[in-house]
Amino acid sequence: MNQRKVVVLTGAGVSAESGLKTFRDSNGLWEQHRVEEVATPEAFQTNPELVYRFYNARRQQLQEPDVQPNAAHQALARLEQHLGSNLTLVTQNVDDLHERAGSQQVLHMHGQLMSARCVASGIRRPFTRSFDATTACTCCQPANQLRPDIVWFGETPMFMDKIIVAVTQADLFIAIGTSGQVYPAAGFAQLAHESGVRTVELNLEPDIHHPYFDEHRQGPAGQVVPQFIDELIQTNA
């Protein structure tokens, strides 16, 4: 069986139906904050309490019983079962809903809520509860502070080399529920297009951006993603 290589990029829209707010759908506010207020190294320097509090709240919200993976996350987990390592799933989301739906290989290019990172060594570890400036790391002697394991504006997203290779060598690139406003992720569609890769956009809004998509399907991720993925699987991707 000669399966095609597929790269999927997901954004906040894929988790919207799971009860997590997107970034730009409420006048640029994310849970009542401007993104710059809570998602920059400068914010962490000038107002660390707010930044810790904000991510503690997001981590807590993610563990509320009604926040569960939706049909879009589940469809992408099915696609991984079908394609194995021919699927590269890249997410800008810091939630763990892809994993909870069953995806095993997820590249969290903007980091993860359920993990903490030592400010000195950069070593990360799973972290489910709240923490702040007084929470010590376990990797250094003497201990250092932990920070949210999030890539803030001005910092370099993770896995970039791997993602760029996957995008340029893919047969199909699918962007799901992302506004395409934050680079470098916003540039992947163009990169794919210029590499001769077929590009598809699945989004709630009608054709929102770029001439770089060959196909656009409009609708909530919980509906359009399973539909699209099932078609892909049936035609043996």
Work out how close the CB of 190 gets to ligand OAD at its nearest, in angstroms, rounded to a whole number. 15
Nearest Cα to Cα of residue 95 among 73, 124, 120: 73
37 binds ligand OAD (CB under 6 A): no
- Applying CB under 6 A, among 3, 4, 24, 164 the residue interacting with ligand OAD is 24
Instruction: Name every residue whose Cβ is closer than 8 Å to that of residue 148 and which is 6 or more positions away in sequence.
Output: 51, 52, 55, 111, 113, 116, 117
Give CA–CA dist 201/118, Å, rounded.
Answer: 36
Does residue number 12 form part of the binding site for ligand OAD (CB under 6 A)? yes
Q: Is there binding between residue 203 and ligand OAD (CB under 6 A)?
A: yes
Q: State the Cα–Cα distance between residues 174 and 11, nearest whole angstrom.
A: 11
Residues 18, 88, 112, 179: which binds ligand OAD (CB under 6 A)?
A: 179
Interaction of residue 74 with ligand OAD, rule CB under 6 A: no
Strand, helix or coil for residue 197: coil
Residue 115 binds ligand OAD (CB under 6 A)? no
Are the CB atoms for 4 and 171 separated by under 8 Å? Answer: yes
Whether 110 is catalytic is yes
Catalytic residue of the set 82, 110, 209, 210: 110
Tokens of 166: 């996957």
Assess 147 for contact with ligand OAD (CB under 6 A): no
> Which of the residues are catalytic?
110
Give the footprint of ligand OAD on this chain (CB under 6 A).
11-13, 16-17, 22-25, 35, 39, 92, 110, 151, 177-179, 181-182, 203-205, 208, 220-221
